[in-house]
Structures are given as C-alpha cells and as structure tokens.
Structure 1
Amino acid sequence: MIRLLWAASVHTRYFLRRYMPTNRLLDAIRTRRGLKWGVPAMLLIGPYLLAASICTNLIKDGGPGWLNILVILFIWNALKFLIMGPVSVILLARVRIHEAVQRRQARRAQAAATEPQPVEYQPAGVMH
C-alpha cells in the first residue's frame, strides 16, 4: 500500500513539475540565467491575488462551490512567487560570490605562472 502511494506521489509530482506553467516558470528562475528574474516575478502575486478575490466574491454571491479550489490554487501560486523573490536574491548573491572567488583564484594562478621563479643558489661542491 505504501509503495502504491509512493509511486502515485512521484508520478503526480513529475506531472506537476513538467506541465504546470508556474512550476516551469519557477524552474526557469532557479537557473543561473534566471536568478535575476526572481524579484520581477514577484509582480505576478498581484494578478493571482486579484483572481482569488474575484473568485471569492463570486462564491459569496452564490457562485459554484468548485471555485474554492481555484481560490486555493491562486493563493498557493501567489505564495510560491512571494517566496521565490527573496530566495532568488540570496541564490544570486551566493553564485556571484562563488564566481568572484573563482575569478580571483584564476588571476592568481595566471600571475603565478607568468612570474619568474627564484633560483636557489647552490655553491659548487655542496651535495644535498
């Protein structure tokens, strides 16, 4: 039974990661090129919360109950983008620091390779 539940959750996660637009956008933001778009992506919170508000008003005015699922979905997506903004800033800072350290190490290695090495003086007849 646990094996069946585990397999179902794995397949559900794969489907959601692969085909849901917000998950694809968040995956694109998590790449090195996409980290700079984390904060602007937070602007998508507004439309999601507006859609949730509209659905909530429709429900209050006697709309169908299945709109509650959409309200939960809209709020969930808004929270994902709300969290991804600061996380992308932290990840971008970490990546840039790592890249700067690598550049500094490469410059030092290049400078050491081009710098003439001091030659040790050994008097004639002295054996080591």
Structure 2
Amino acid sequence: MFRLLWAASVRTRYFLRRYMPANVLLDRIRTRRGLKWGLPAMLLAAPYLLAASICTNLIADGGPGWLNLLVILFIWNALKFILIGPVSLAHLVRIRLHEAAERRRARRRSDAMKSARYATIGS
C-alpha cells in the first residue's frame, strides 16, 4: 500500500512539474539564465490573488463548493511567485560571488604563469 501511494505521488509530482504553467515558469526562473527574472516574476502573484478573490466572491454569492479548490490553488501559486523573488535574488548573488572568485583565481593563475615564463626567459 505504501509503495502504491509513493508511486502515485511521484507520478503526480512529475505531471505537475512538467505540465502546469506556473511550475514550468518557476523551473525556468531557477536556471542560471532565469535568475534575473525572479523579482519581476513576483508581479505574477497579483493575477493569482485576483483570481482567488473572484472565486471567493463567487463562493460567497452561492457558487459551487469546488471553487474552494481553485482558491487554494491560486493562493498556493501566488505564494510560490512571491517567494521566488527573494530566493532567486539570493541564488543570483551567491552565483555571481562564486563566478567572481573563479575569475580572480583564473587571473592569478595566468599572472603566475606569465611571471614564471618571463623568469625562465630572463635567466
């Protein structure tokens, strides 16, 4: 039974990660090239919150109860987009610091190689 539940959850997660637009966009933002779009992507939380508000008003006016699932989905996606901004900014800063350190190390190695070459030629 546990194995069946595990397999179902893995397949559901794979389907949601692969085909749901919000998850596809968030996966692209998490790449190195997409990290710069994390802060502007936070603005996408507004339409999700608006959709949640509209569904909540429809429910309050006697709409079907299944709209509650949409409200939860919209709020969840809005929270994901709100959180991707600071997270992507932190990742971008970390990666840029790492790249700068790599450039410094490469520059030091090339300077050391040049000075060693000149020392060999000069003697």
The alignment's TM-score, normalised by the length of structure 1, stands at 0.90
Distance 1:8 1:117 in 2: 66
Matched, 1:101 2:101: yes
- 2:35 is aligned with 1:32: no
| Structure 2 unmatched ranges of 5 or more | none
Between the two proteins, the alignment pairs up a number of residues equal to 120
Q: Aligned to 2:101, what secondary structure does the other structure show?
A: helix
CA distance in 1, matches of 2:80, 2:48: 11
Shift of 1:64: 1.0
How far off is 1:58 after superposition? Answer: 0.6
Give the AA of the match of 2:49.
Answer: L
**Structure 1: where are the runs of 5+ without partners?**
119-128
Larger radius of gyration: 1
Write the mapping of 1:3-82 to structure 2, written as runs, cut at 5 A.
3-82=3-82
Question: CA offsets, 1:41-88, max 9 Å, x none?
Answer: 000111110110000001101111111111000000000011111000
Q: Distance in 2 between matches of 1:14 and 1:94?
A: 28
Cα displacement (A) at 1:117: 3.4
Instruction: Provide the alpha-carbon RMSD of the alignment.
Output: 1.5
- The TM-score with structure 2 as length reference comes to 0.94
Which 4+ stretches in 1 moved above 3 angstroms?
none
Q: Secondary structure at the match of 1:117?
A: helix
Which amino acid is 1:9 matched to? S
Determine which of 117, 120, 125 is the counterpart of 2:119.
117
Q: State the AA in 1 paired with 2:38.
A: G
CA distance in 1, matches of 2:5, 2:80: 25
Tell me, in whole angstroms, the C-alpha distance in 2 between the residues paired with 1:8 and 1:54: 32
